[in-house]
């Protein structure tokens, strides 16, 4: 059939041409861009995959630069540490030279002058070395993190130790110290204060009991020695991350008056030759010291003259063994010696630089360790005074007086009542000037000079559990810090209900007393003064009620003084204020350097309250027993010997840091190689997905061109075929 309205051949040719043009366009696009996928319509899944690969490739490229920057940082630090090593080596040469007995005092001064210059340059390197403004050797570069991958968490972390002279040397990592863990008189050596398994937890790890078998040098109370306790702590060091280092034992002397006596001194089981003292205290000290030091090889104890009649003779055991002293015929006043037993000191060292957390169990007594609960930072010294309970009118004996205390060479002023605006003084045994708050204020007035900060610790008193409930309902009054609190004890209440009732009534007045009552967890009540104020407690004598009936046994002190009528409490009496005991809190001392505590100018005489206040003469904390490079002094042969140890430790520390930096560089170099290989493989994989195949696309282009031309020719022929219909009209 011949038609003219529809040219099927032309339509077919047009479709063929359109298809050929599309193929031609696609082939030209791929050939011109070199990519098979130029838009999502080309390959939706392939586009998504290729974009993820592109993100990884670009991320890896940046990660490679990061790793190279990290290598540069490590190289910068390691190079600077190399210079520090060279200076330390030179300092060691000088120390070896100064330790020689042929060197004069003037020679040592010249050597010390060079030491000072080298120390200054080490500090300069430590404080100035930086990479892109980041300090590297001042101790702040502890957790440097490099992004060495294209995804989150793909990092390399490393730290760089301090190269400052003040941080290099021995004893750089101790967190706190314990000393004087037990004191007993010669006749009371059975008062053993060995560590029990429930007493001490370090970073949550239970420290086992101390054992006498760990101490091979002490003559008595071996289980209570610093050596035994340090060994117990070190047995769990792998779990706690904390080790204990034994320090020296110091037994302070006592005030002397001088007397003509002949007798002997027994130290650690060894008895001296006969000693004849005189009325001349200084001469008597010399005679006594000579006799003691003659047997130092057997006792392990050295006697030191304090040069002060009020301080007497100080005994020291360098290895931390216990010191046990007794006198025969001689007296403390004639010799300047204390009698009894003294344990040594130990320091806790955080091996990983993390804080040290000390705690105890509900059944334990952390005091037996010589430590106290709390969290202590690396390089921070800490020590506590002892807790005190004062009876009747003896409170004045517990004031901190001028001349009682010296900290880091600075005399501490006397404490005054005005320093404590919290403690109550209704009980005659409560003395504001002797409170932990007042003592802390006095110490803090010299913080600028000592570097030591004092804090009154929270004071908590635990009462014993009720043994019996009251036989009949009775109204009593409990006086806490001068505030009288009316409490009704119900005969029908259980022991727990009674405790809860008493605690609730006491807590109604906490704003006035400063004391909060709570369940002690041991069956009784606890009274806590968070600010460390004194706590004085008494109760009325009604119906035969005793403190144990309501959970405050062993806290409330029922004296025997004359009763008096309490204002506003009709016919109710409490025992006289002159018989009520007062509990005093402890004082914590902390410092970023070591803490040296000494008796003041009053020494240990009758007028001194140094011992009564719970302080103990010794050195505590991070730097004690060690020497920093910044403190090296070659002016004496002993100083030169100590310098060798400090420099060797510093060299070891710097070498370890350099080794770590070298390991980091090697790791980063391997990281760069791995990242480069990974990036290459990713690029290759992405290429197979998105890149055009030029051979195939060239063929497609040629085919599309031919088809397009053919379609165009056929379209022309189809259009021309319609003209032939006109021949029928002629």
Angle value at C-alpha 273, between 272 and 279, nearest 5 degrees: 95
The whole-number pLDDT of residue 567 equals 27
The whole-number pLDDT of residue 190 equals 32
Separation between Cα atoms, residue 318 and residue 535, nearest integer Å: 40
| Strands laid side by side in the 242-246 sheet | 174-179, 345-350, 242-246
SS (H, E, C) 596-650: EEEECCCCCCCCCCCCCCCCCCEEECCCCCCCEHHHCCCCCHHHHHHHHHHHHHH
Q: The tokens of 707 are what?
A: 């088809």
Separation between Cα atoms, residue 672 and residue 235, nearest integer Å: 42
Neighbouring C-alpha atoms within 13 Å toward the C-beta of 85? 15
Indicate the SS3 state at residue 411. Answer: strand
Closest by CA to 533, choosing from 633, 394, 639, 434, is 434
The whole-number pLDDT of residue 379 equals 52
Say which residues have a Cβ less than 8 Å from residue 647's Cβ, sequence separation at least 6.
Answer: 88, 91, 92, 95, 169, 629, 632
Phi and psi dihedrals of 486, rounded to 5?
A: -80, 130
User: How many angstroms separate the Cα of 94 from the Cα of each of 87, 635, 671?
Assistant: 11, 11, 43
Distance, CA of 348 to chain centre: 10
Q: Are 165 and 628 in contact (CB under 8 A)?
A: yes
Q: 273-278: which pairs have CB atoms within 8 A and are 24 or more residues apart?
A: 275/330, 275/335, 277/330, 277/334, 277/335
Say which residues have a Cβ less than 8 Å from residue 445's Cβ, sequence separation at least 6.
Answer: 412, 413
The whole-number pLDDT of residue 565 equals 25
Tens digits of residue pLDDT in 465-486: 766 677 778 888 888 888 888 8
The whole-number pLDDT of residue 363 equals 74
Give me the sign of the Cα torsion angle 216, 217, 218, 220: positive
DSSP category for residue 691: B
Say which residues have a Cβ less than 8 Å from residue 567's Cβ, sequence separation at least 6.
Answer: none
The whole-number pLDDT of residue 76 equals 93
Closest by CA to 123, choosing from 658, 656, 630, 719, is 630
Residue whose entry in the numeric block shows the structure tokens 């009542």: 417
The whole-number pLDDT of residue 172 equals 38
What architecture is domain 53-163+632-683?
A: Up-down Bundle (1.20)
Q: Under CATH, what is the fold of the domain 261-340?
A: Alpha-Beta Plaits (3.30.70)
The whole-number pLDDT of residue 561 equals 28
CATH 3.30.70.2120 given to domain 460-583? yes
- Rounded to 10 degrees, the C-alpha dihedral 496/492/473/486 comes to 30
The whole-number pLDDT of residue 353 equals 60
- Per DSSP, the residues of 154-178 read -EEEE------TTTSBSS--EEEEE
With a cut of 50, which residues of the chain have pLDDT below it? 172-192, 392-395, 397, 556-579, 622-625
Separation between Cα atoms, residue 147 and residue 554, nearest integer Å: 61
């Amino acid at each position: 059939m011949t038609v003219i309205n529809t040219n099927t051949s032309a339509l077919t040719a047009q479709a063929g041409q359109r298809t050929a043009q599309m193929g031609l366009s696609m082939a030209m696009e791929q050939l011109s861009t070199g990519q098979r996928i130029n838009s999502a319509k080309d390959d939706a899944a392939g586009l998504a995959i290729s974009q993820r690969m592109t993100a990884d490739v670009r991320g890896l490229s940046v990660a490679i630069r990061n790793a190279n920057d990290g290598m540069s940082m490590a190289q910068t630090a390691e190079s600077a540490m190399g210079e520090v090593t060279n200076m330390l080596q030179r300092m060691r040469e000088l120390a070896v030279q100064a330790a020689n007995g042929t060197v004069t005092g003037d020679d040592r001064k010249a050597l010390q002058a060079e030491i000072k210059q080298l120390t200054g340059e080490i500090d300069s390197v430590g404080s100035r070395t930086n990479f892109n403004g980041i300090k590297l050797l001042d101790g702040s570069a502890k957790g440097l993190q490099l992004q060495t991958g294209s995804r989150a968490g793909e990092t390399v972390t490393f730290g760089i130790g301090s190269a400052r002279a003040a941080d290099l040397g021995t004893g750089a990592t101790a967190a706190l110290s314990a000393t004087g863990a037990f004191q007993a008189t010669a006749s009371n050596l059975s008062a053993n204060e060995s560590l029990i398994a429930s007493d001490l937890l370090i970073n949550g790890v239970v420290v086992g009991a101390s054992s006498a078998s760990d101490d091979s040098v002490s003559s008595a109370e071996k289980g209570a020695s610093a050596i035994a306790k340090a060994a117990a702590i070190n047995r769990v060091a792998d779990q706690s991350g904390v080790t204990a280092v034994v320090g020296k034992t110091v037994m302070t002397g006592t005030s002397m008056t001088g007397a003509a006596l002949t007798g002997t001194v027994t130290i650690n089981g060894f008895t001296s030759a006969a000693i004849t003292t005189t009325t001349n205290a200084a001469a008597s000290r010399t005679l006594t010291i000579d006799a003691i030091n003659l047997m130092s090889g057997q006792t392990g104890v050295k006697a030191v003259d304090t040069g002060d009649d009020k301080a007497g003779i100080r005994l020291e055991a360098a290895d931390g063994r216990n010191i046990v002293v007794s006198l025969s015929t001689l007296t403390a006043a004639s010799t300047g010696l204390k009698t009894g037993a003294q344990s040594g000191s130990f320091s806790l060292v955080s091996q990983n630089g993390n804080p040290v957390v000390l705690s105890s169990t509900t059944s334990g007594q952390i005091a037996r360790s010589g430590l106290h609960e709390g969290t202590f930072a690396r390089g921070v010294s800490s020590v506590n005074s002892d807790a005190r309970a004062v009876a009747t009118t003896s409170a004045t004996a517990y004031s901190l007086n001028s001349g009682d205390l010296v900290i880091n060479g600075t005399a501490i002023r006397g404490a005054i009542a005005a320093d404590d605006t919290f403690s109550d003084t209704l009980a005659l045994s409560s003395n504001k000037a002797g409170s932990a708050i007042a003592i802390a204020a006095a110490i803090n007035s010299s913080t600028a000079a000592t570097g030591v900060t004092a804090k009154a610790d929270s004071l908590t008193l635990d009462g014993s559990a009720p043994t019996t409930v009251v036989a009949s309902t009775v109204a009593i009054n409990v006086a806490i810090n001068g505030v009288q609190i009316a409490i009704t004890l119900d005969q029908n209440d259980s022991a727990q209900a009674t405790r809860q009732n008493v605690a609730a009534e006491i807590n109604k007045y906490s704003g006035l007393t400063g004391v909060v009552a709570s369940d002690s967890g041991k069956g009784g009540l606890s009274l806590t003064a968070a600010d460390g104020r004194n706590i004085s407690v008494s109760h009325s004598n009604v119906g035969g009620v005793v403190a144990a009936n309501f959970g405050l046994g062993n806290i409330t002190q029922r004296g025997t003084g004359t009763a008096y009528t309490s204002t506003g409490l009709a016919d109710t009496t409490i025992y006289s204020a002159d018989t009520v005991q007062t509990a005093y809190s402890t004082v914590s001392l902390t410092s970023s350097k070591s803490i040296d505590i000494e008796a003041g100018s009053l020494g240990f005489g009758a007028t001194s309250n140094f011992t009564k206040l719970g302080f103990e003469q010794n050195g505590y904390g991070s730097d004690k027993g060690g020497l920093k490079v910044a403190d090296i002094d070659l002016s004496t042969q002993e100083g030169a010997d100590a310098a060798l140890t400090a420099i060797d430790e510093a060299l070891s520390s710097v070498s370890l840091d350099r080794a770590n930096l070298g390991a980091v560089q090697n790791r980063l170099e391997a990281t760069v190689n791995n990242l480069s290989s990974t990036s290459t493989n990713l690029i290759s994989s992405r290429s197979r997905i998105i890149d055009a195949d030029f051979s195939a696309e060239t063929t497609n282009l040629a085919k599309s061109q031919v088809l397009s031309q053919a379609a165009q020719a056929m379209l022309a022929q189809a259009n021309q075929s319609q003209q032939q219909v006109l021949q029928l009209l002629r």
